[in-house]
Amino acid sequence: MNHDDKIIQAEEVLKSKHEEIRKTKWYPTYHVAPQAGWMNDPNGFSFYNGEYHLFYQHYPFSPQWGPMYWGHAKSRDLASWEHLPIALAPSEDYDKDGCFSGSAIQIDDKLYLMYTGNVWTGDDHDHQLKQVQCIASSQDGIHFTKDEQNPVISTAPEGNIHPFHFRDPKVWKKGEHYYCVLGSKTNQNIGQILLYRSKDLVDWEFMNVAATGTGNFGYMWECPDIFNIDGQDILLMSPQGMAPEGYMYHNLHQSGYVVGKLDYETGILEHGPFQLLDYGFDVYAPQTTVDEQGRRIVLSWMNMWESEMPEQKYEWAGAITLPRVMTLENGTLRISPVPELKSLRKDKVAYERIQVNGNELLPKVDGSFVELKVTIDAKDATQFGLKVRVNEDLGEETVLYYDTRTKVITFNRDNSGAGPKGIRQAPVELIDNKLHLHLFLDSSSVELFINEGEKVMTGRIYPNEESIGIQFFSEGEIELLKVEKWTVAGAF
Ligand code: FRU
């Protein structure tokens, strides 16, 4: 079947299933999720002709990962979204087992996608595969044509570079050249990033291994992204297989970054230590773009490989985090939800100066589609926080709390409902003995921004629809200096 026919076939399936799927209980109301079937990494996130385009790894025919297509949605304001037809389908000899992750770039008035063509050469998918880099382009940002010169990078470079695991191009322009980074590993299974240069997106020259892991840094780095904020080069990547250290790195794979300086002559990135992008359960394969206002915006797959995904029983799987703005402060990224999300706010409820010692319920502070901002004075409490998606009859709750002795914030989903359990933790310093929490709840997700985006914790939860309570609690006295709660309107 040719590319166009494959897209038509997939679109028919999506159209026939979406209306039913979107009514099921864990389907998000304001996060991008597949209309039906499977989703993983965000791809091709870009600002094109005044709109944000978001593509994603997608298998339209079942809620399990399969030969990858590129799903597509767009937004004018990063708050409301519209689904668009599938952009890429696996249709050629060089990508027949999947159009894997990649990125987008606008050249003149065309939108170009650069992606990895994947072909299995045997049943052992770790060792029997061929990955090549390809491009496709579009005049309208909707219909894409694969380039006749594909693949534009057909073999991994010589040297201590694994010949098969070689994927996820992120492309950008600087000066006269296009550059792209690829995820890769050495033959000894150490994650690394490859840097290429081109004048036309077709002829690519391998420049160097821009960075290689040392120590506990995983066996493969996926989905690299390099960008500049305030004169610093930041490499964002997703290392597979870092070992847990204290309360860090408990997910199967991590997403994080290093800050440094990329030498565009040698192709080497000198950089500082690895820092986590998110301290929760479910952030992987982040990708960024820059918009008209010069903001660096990131979003990620809001799941984790091999984690249980209870939504699969409703014929869909996967969602994308809220878009977040990144700024750099003292060598660390500060990450905040984009302000445009305010346009989805409705039915504001607010409180001030509420003393809590034990448990506290605030009238009208509840719900499943919620934005909540709270400033808490810790006073002399030892522990305090809030429970969301609470249902006492069912024993369901998702707990977010701070311990003033350990200076750690904990996200506990042991009693969240169906699905994966466990805790994740993040070190947090109070500011003048105060904690700022900014929380977004959707049907099956929690995104917690701590102290104005100093730390973020993201996780999927699968509560009962009736579990909508929110409770504040403390051991010792605290004061809720300010509580603001909105219902979040649907974004589609
Ligand atoms: C990351 C990843 C990428 C790959 C894609 C396949 O989650 O494994 O490296 O391109 O997913 O769907």
283 and 357 fall within a common domain: no
58 CB near ligand 1 (under 6 Å):
no
167 CB near ligand 1 (under 6 Å):
yes
285 CB near ligand 1 (under 6 Å):
yes
State residue 9's pLDDT score: 98
Q: How many domains does the chain have?
A: 2
Residue 366: DSSP 8-state? B
48 CB near ligand 1 (under 6 Å):
no
323 and 413 fall within a common domain: no
425 and 474 fall within a common domain: yes
State residue 311's pLDDT score: 98
319 and 358 fall within a common domain: no
- Show the low-confidence residues of the chain (pLDDT under 50): none
Tokens read off for 262: 């990329």
311 and 366 fall within a common domain: no
349 and 327 fall within a common domain: no
State in Å: Cα 68 to ligand 1 middle: 9
The domain of 107 spans 3-337
279 and 375 fall within a common domain: no
29 and 121 fall within a common domain: yes
Q: Count CB-CB contacts under 10 A for residue 112.
A: 20
Counting every residue written for the chain, the total comes to 492
Q: Ligand 1: which atom is nearest the Cα of residue 238?
A: 1
State residue 5's pLDDT score: 98
CATH classification at residue 166: 2.115.10.20
60 and 107 fall within a common domain: yes
* ipTM for the complex shown: 0.99
The C-alpha atoms of residue 397 and residue 415 are separated, in whole angstroms, by 5
43 CB near ligand 1 (under 6 Å):
no
Where is the domain boundary, 337, 361, 394? 337
Residue nearest to atom 9 of ligand 1 (CA): 222
State in Å: Cα 284 to ligand 1 middle: 10
Peptide bond into 339 cis (omega under 30): no
Which residues are CB-contacts of 62 (< 8 A; sequence separation ≥ 6)?
37, 38, 315
State in Å: Cα 101 to ligand 1 middle: 6
* 441 HSE (CA, 13 A, CB side): 31
Residue nearest to atom 12 of ligand 1 (CA): 100
State residue 383's pLDDT score: 98
State in Å: Cα 41 to ligand 1 middle: 7
| 41 catalytic residue (yes or no) | yes
214 and 137 fall within a common domain: yes
State in Å: Cα 356 to ligand 1 middle: 46
State residue 408's pLDDT score: 98
307 and 349 fall within a common domain: no
State in Å: Cα 145 to ligand 1 middle: 22
For the full predicted model, state whether its pTM sits above 0.90.
yes
Where is the domain boundary, 279, 305, 337? 337
The C-alpha atoms of residue 44 and residue 73 are separated, in whole angstroms, by 11
Q: Ligand 1: which atom is nearest the Cα of residue 41?
A: 7
Residue nearest to atom 8 of ligand 1 (CA): 222
State residue 12's pLDDT score: 98
CATH classification at residue 382: 2.60.120.560
Name the catalytic one among 4, 41, 230, 278: 41
Where is the domain boundary, 283, 313, 337? 337
371 and 294 fall within a common domain: no
For residue 285, is it left (φ>0), alpha (ψ between -120 and 50) or beta? Answer: left
Q: Count CB-CB contacts under 10 A for residue 198.
A: 18
State residue 29's pLDDT score: 97
Q: Mean pLDDT for the chain? A: 97
State residue 230's pLDDT score: 97
Residues 201-240 pLDDT 10s: 999 999 999 999 999 999 999 999 999 999 999 999 999 9
168 CB near ligand 1 (under 6 Å):
yes
Q: Ligand 1: which atom is nearest the Cα of residue 65?
A: 12
Q: Ligand 1: which atom is nearest the Cα of residue 222?
A: 9
How open is the CA angle 441-252-214, to the nearest 5 degrees?
Answer: 120
Residue 76: DSSP 8-state? S
State residue 153's pLDDT score: 98
398 CB near ligand 1 (under 6 Å):
no
